[in-house]
Structure 1
Amino acid sequence: MSRTRTAARPSRRRTALLAACTLMAATGATATALSTAAGAAAPGCRVDYQVTNQWSSGFGANVTVTNTGDPVSSWTLEWTYAGDQRITQSWNATTSQTGAAVTARNVSYNGSLATGGSASFGFNASYSGTNAVPTTFKLNGVTCDGGTTDPTDPPTDPPPAGSRVDNPYAGAKVYVNPEWSAKAAAEPGGTRVSQQPTGVWLDRIAAINGVNGGMGLRAHLDEALRQKGTGELTVQLVIYNLPGRDCAALASNGELGPTEIDTYKTQYIDPIAAILADPKYAGLRIVTTVEIDSLPNLVTNVTPRPTATPNCDVMKANGNYIKGVGYALAKLGAVKNVYNYVDAGHHGWLGWDDNFGPSAQLFKQAATAEGSTVANVHGFIVNTANYSALKEDHFTINDTVNGVSVRQSKWVDWNRYTDELSYAQAMRAELVRIGFSPNLGMLIDTSRNGWGGTARPSGPGATTSVDTYVNGGRYDRRIHLGNWCNQSGAGLGERPKAAPAAGIDAYVWMKPPGESDGASREIPNDEGKGFDRMCDPTYTGNPRNNNNMSGALPNAPLSGQWFSAQFQELMRNAHPAL
């Protein structure tokens, strides 16, 4: 797996309306009820209020409201704190506060909630003393008063199977891959993370039915149904088998040659789409991340760029990346409970001016190829299998040192972005601007970008020069931003969570921690995977990393195989710490 720089259902009829509202708080789940006078319309709801992190004087929280009643075109959620909590910042909602009373209103893109639809927002707040979770909420002026539902009222119907929600991660558990979980749990200390959700990689045709006795796609979906129980569950799949895959790298080359687009369509995408369309799985929310490490290569690694490769020139000329992605989006997007997220590289690849805009345009070209439309794209994913820091706290792109811009530092190197969060939010804005849905959501892979441990800076670097300032303060400790293979010193990042920031549907662990990026030496294999010197710790580099050392760990196996030493290092350097 390489990363290179170069970028409504009908309304219910009732004689008396009574809607249930369930509040699930960070300290436990408490059932409450919402009742109204006969004939008065009111939305039913579930509210999930979670404190996501907390320190001595402040905390962050995420709130998800799910509409279980009739559709609404806008919403207002109200609650009152028992203490002195004060909201200081919010995203995905407009918040106001008078004393202890808080009001959160939808923003332009998330006000409409169909039956079963959800909206999530987050905020940061200050507090002192205790930080009790609110016990009472109002949705559109109706109080969840802690009473009980009317026993004569018919039960609330669940949302129709296969209906899409705004954010597939909101109010849902996420599938834990038992195969990865078993490997993680077998490692010393691994049980601390072995129940985290990770992506299921369909990286070859054989993976659809299972490789070497392993679980195939149906087996994973059947297990997902078991894990789901009576709630909502999201399954994460990686669609990863384009013809001429990973044209700028060798470690994760695939089984299909550059011209085998028909094989890709009929033997790979069509069987996957047929399984996902089975009514048996209609109650699952299925996230597909479509073709990691493909489209950006057609911008950054083709002639006349100095980083051009012959293989990428071939893929640009034959158009099979565009055709393949368009076909996948059209076929998978036709399944009503599938949510397509297209790969959008990472800031250390596409953050430069000459990569950013052209890449967005290329994404739109692919999204409208082979009968697809932008409506088949639910969102985009960034930083998949990469190491870019989520947020650099000790310097910003607007800082200067002795009159010299941070952009001029060797590390930033004129990039527009310093981290993945700022890049993802900016890329989302650009994609919406050029015609994608204003409800577009982004995913950020945080599986290996924590950069904790003893090497994590606690403050800015010295201001003797712009380079000492940036290098002394940056969390990302790679030798160069272009290094991507089994990076030494990396750590697990933020744990998977829904709606953590503005425009972000979720932080995810799409790349399962402990799976190798590529072999440190040439290893004969029948998977079509080559040897990339960027996975060799003795390699002195190439133009893509400005001829720096690779920073790779030694003794790594083939890409996708279990790499115990890497898993142990990721746990050791996790941030937040385990």
Structure 2
Amino acid sequence: MKPVRWNGAMRSWTARGIAAGATLALGSGLLIAANPASAAAGCEVDYNVANQWPSGFTANVTITNLGDPIDGWTLEWDYANGQQITNGWSGSFSQSGSSVTVDNAGYNGQIAAGSSVSFGFNGSHSGTNDAPSTFTLNGVECTGEPTDDPTDDPTDEPTDDPTDDPTDEPTDDPTDEPTDDPTDEPTDEPTDDPTTDPGERVDNPFVGTDLYVNPVWSDNAAAEPGGDAVADVSTAVWLDRISAIEGNDSPTTGSMGLRDHLDEAVAQSDGDPMTIQVVIYNLPGRDCSALASHGTLGQEEIGKYKTDYIDVIADIMDDPEYSDLRIATIIEPDSLPNLVTNVGSRETATENCDIMLENGNYVEGVGYALSELGEIPNVYNYVDAGHHGWLGWDNNLGPSVEMFYEAANAAGATPDDVHGFIVNTANYSATVEPHFDVNDTVNGQQVRQSNWVDWNQFVGEQPFAQALRDEAVSVGFNSDIGMLIDTSRNGWGGPERPEGPSSSTDLNTFVDESRIDRRIHTGNWCNQSGAGMGERPTAEPAAGIDAYVWVKPPGESDGSSEEIDNDEGKGFDRMCDPTYGGNVRNGNSDTGALPDAPVSGHWFSAQFQELLANAYPPIN
């Protein structure tokens, strides 16, 4: 099984390495002429057209600081063919004619030496969409070269005086031979190369690493027509009950337990850095608002959760045999946000969520998982934080972050045990809506007022994740936390994907014709018809985002479309029934769920085929 090597950039060109006039083939099949970004000593710019249609495009830009630390930045460039920026994120944008200026956002103004920041935007074009040829950072042109003075160059060369040349000859005195010992060669390599010490703790565990390919999912995918094209993509390992730790011969996990996966990850790494993602998903009274993902532990079984589940997992992960792995844990999807949105006097409240709020076992369980797993040096904890269609309103986002902070200080945990958060786990929300922004207006009305957006503060996961990160830092989480976005099923490609913004002047028509997220309602979450695989795993795709990841393995069901007996504690949720007219959580809308679905976590061939066909970027 060949692991996927990441370099943090896909379908992009940088300020060095692309010849002038070169043509790049993008994943969408479009050809875009690119000129090299010639920039200053001290910086490098990676300008990436992620998506393009006849009248517009989406681009992501990454600035890498090759010089001294920067506190506050302005990036400038000129377009040669009249491109215009329509809206952007993670920066402050202005444009005069062909000249574009982007200033840092409040949270990403500092760039340490050797570090990067990213931002993105949507733009329009009418001709050839060439990349800018030159970028300047704080008035200095970026050339992709370090700031070392040329007089320092000799330090990279052998220190031997030319008069010592004979020491390189075979006739040298043996006492001189150690200077040519191969063990000295690493001094010519960068000292921060991650391959020098795979077990060293890093700021972002997804940079400079291979990603673990789960052989069980890979085999299931490869068995599907066309599935070979994605069988080498990394997906997470889900530990959704105690028996999964040892392996329980389920249809999707096979007989591989946690130790089997870690052994396989070591084998795949072959000595290079390797990241494996493990979902911790077994709280007492799990997922109190959705029957399809209920678990095997009762609402009061917090002791069993600790001793039979978390302690066992921690003991395995702490084995020295796995100390060189980077283990990214996804902590309890669909848990803590329920204690904010589905309790008390809210019309979305459920009795089960009220019980879990009162008994405190979600907070206790998450805190205990963070504490025990956070003690392991090579484990990186990412707490699940819902998605924008759940927490994107002000009265949900702030209280949810406060709930996260409470859990991060419970059961022996501290905020230091939280490496970051993940959004959109096993969900379908678009990473970015390319054709409109939440602040846009149509015929004098804000997009936020539309039925689809419903006064939400966000229309995509990336701006939501960045805002949640800022909120988390403001309440006491560490300033270096990073975010993950699950992009496994939010591509929304295929024939129904809009190629550009609608021309309608009616607000709701404009939004419905422009949005790439084709769900009936953002509250729909089960086996969504029309969905497609999204962006393939990518490190550092935007400011504050550690990675796009595939946590939910495409082709594994969200829940059964009818009652199915099982021994996994999973019930029948009407949100998985395509004939159901909905409830208050999805605006009493149709569910948009696929028919004939198996129990959650089981292989669903029809869903896999639809996700493959509607992938965006397309699967070639």
Find the partner of 2:312 among 259, 263, 271.
Answer: 271
CA distance in 1, matches of 2:369, 2:346: 28
1:59 Cα deviation after fit = 9.3
Q: Which residue of 2 aligns with 1:155?
A: 186
Q: Which residue of 1 aligns with 2:202?
A: 165
Q: Which residue of 1 aligns with 2:402?
A: 361
Find the partner of 1:386 among 427, 432, 436.
Answer: 427
| Aligned: 1:196 with 2:196 | no
Asked if structure 1 preserves the Cα contact closer than 8 Å seen for 2:242 and 2:308, the reply is yes
Q: Which amino acid aligns with 1:427?
A: L
Identity of counterpart residues, as a percentage? 56
1:146 Cα deviation after fit = 13
1:550 Cα deviation after fit = 0.8
CA distance in 1, matches of 2:89, 2:442: 31
Shift in alpha-carbon separation, 1:140–1:173, aligned structure 2, 3 A: farther
SS of residue in 1 equivalent to 2:276 = strand
Asked if structure 2 preserves the Cα contact closer than 8 Å seen for 1:92 and 1:503, the reply is no
Q: Which amino acid aligns with 1:155?
A: P
**What CA deviation, in whole Å up to 9, does each residue of 1:378-436 have, x standing for no partner?**
11000011011111122221222333322221111111111111111111111111111
| Aligned: 1:177 with 2:253 | no
Q: Which amino acid aligns with 1:141?
A: D
Q: Which residue of 1 aligns with 2:452?
A: 411
CA distance in 2, matches of 1:92, 1:417: 13
CA distance in 2, matches of 1:59, 1:332: 38
CA distance in 2, matches of 1:424, 1:454: 28
Q: Which residue of 2 aligns with 1:575?
A: 616
Q: Which residue of 2 aligns with 1:342?
A: 383
1:564 Cα deviation after fit = 0.5
Q: Which residue of 2 aligns with 1:294?
A: 335
Find the partner of 1:141 among 140, 148, 152.
Answer: 148
| Aligned: 1:205 with 2:236 | no
Find the partner of 1:434 among 475, 490, 500.
Answer: 475
SS of residue in 2 equivalent to 1:443 = strand
1:109 Cα deviation after fit = 8.3
Shift in alpha-carbon separation, 1:60–1:303, aligned structure 2, 3 A: closer
Find the partner of 1:237 among 267, 275, 278.
Answer: 278
The range that moved more, 552-561 or 172-181, is 172-181
Shift in alpha-carbon separation, 1:230–1:26, aligned structure 2, 3 A: farther
1:341 Cα deviation after fit = 0.5
1:353 Cα deviation after fit = 1.8
State which structure, 1 or 2, has the greater radius of gyration over its C-alpha atoms: 2
Shift in alpha-carbon separation, 1:53–1:529, aligned structure 2, 3 A: same
Question: Which sections of structure 2, spanning at least 5 residues, go unmatched?
Answer: 1-6, 18-43, 72-79, 93-103, 134-142, 159-178
CA distance in 2, matches of 1:490, 1:432: 33
CA distance in 2, matches of 1:185, 1:61: 32
Q: Which residue of 2 aligns with 1:226?
A: 267
SS of residue in 2 equivalent to 1:500 = strand
Shift in alpha-carbon separation, 1:118–1:214, aligned structure 2, 3 A: farther
Q: Which residue of 2 aligns with 1:377?
A: 418
Asked if structure 1 preserves the Cα contact closer than 8 Å seen for 2:555 and 2:604, the reply is yes
SS of residue in 2 equivalent to 1:506 = strand
Q: Which residue of 2 aligns with 1:36?
A: none
Asked if structure 1 preserves the Cα contact closer than 8 Å seen for 2:439 and 2:446, the reply is yes
Q: Which residue of 2 aligns with 1:507?
A: 548
Alignment of 1:444-459 (within 5 A): 444-459=485-500
SS of residue in 1 equivalent to 2:396 = helix
CA distance in 1, matches of 2:415, 2:587: 36
1:269 Cα deviation after fit = 0.6
1:334 Cα deviation after fit = 0.7
Shift in alpha-carbon separation, 1:61–1:485, aligned structure 2, 3 A: closer
**What CA deviation, in whole Å up to 9, does each residue of 1:235-287 have, x standing for no partner?**
11111000000000100100100000111111111111111111111111111
Q: Which residue of 2 aligns with 1:216?
A: 257
SS of residue in 2 equivalent to 1:498 = strand
Shift in alpha-carbon separation, 1:548–1:170, aligned structure 2, 3 A: same
Shift in alpha-carbon separation, 1:148–1:54, aligned structure 2, 3 A: farther
Q: Which residue of 2 aligns with 1:283?
A: 324
1:155 Cα deviation after fit = 3.0
- Aligned residue pairs total 533
**What CA deviation, in whole Å up to 9, does each residue of 1:100-134 have, x standing for no partner?**
xxxxx9x9787568xxx9767577999988999xx
Q: Which amino acid aligns with 1:200?
A: V
1:50 Cα deviation after fit = 9.8
Shift in alpha-carbon separation, 1:455–1:130, aligned structure 2, 3 A: closer
Shift in alpha-carbon separation, 1:226–1:413, aligned structure 2, 3 A: same
SS of residue in 2 equivalent to 1:495 = coil
1:53 Cα deviation after fit = 4.7
The range that moved more, 486-495 or 144-153, is 144-153
Shift in alpha-carbon separation, 1:26–1:344, aligned structure 2, 3 A: closer
SS of residue in 2 equivalent to 1:251 = helix
Q: Which amino acid aligns with 2:569?
A: G
Q: Which residue of 2 aligns with 1:16?
A: none
CA distance in 2, matches of 1:309, 1:23: 42
Q: Which residue of 1 aligns with 2:533?
A: 492
Q: Which amino acid aligns with 1:366?
A: A
Question: Which sections of structure 1, spanning at least 5 residues, go unmatched?
Answer: 1-21, 33-46, 76-83, 95-104
CA distance in 2, matches of 1:166, 1:48: 21
Q: Which residue of 2 aligns with 1:541?
A: 582
Shift in alpha-carbon separation, 1:278–1:186, aligned structure 2, 3 A: same
CA distance in 1, matches of 2:70, 2:271: 28
Asked if structure 1 preserves the Cα contact closer than 8 Å seen for 2:199 and 2:273, the reply is no
CA distance in 2, matches of 1:289, 1:337: 14
SS of residue in 2 equivalent to 1:380 = strand
Q: Which amino acid aligns with 2:186?
A: P
| Aligned: 1:401 with 2:442 | yes
Find the partner of 2:298 among 254, 257, 266.
Answer: 257
Asked if structure 1 preserves the Cα contact closer than 8 Å seen for 2:333 and 2:384, the reply is yes
Asked if structure 2 preserves the Cα contact closer than 8 Å seen for 1:535 and 1:553, the reply is yes
User: What RMSD over aligned residues (CA atoms) do the two structures have, in Å?
Assistant: 4.3
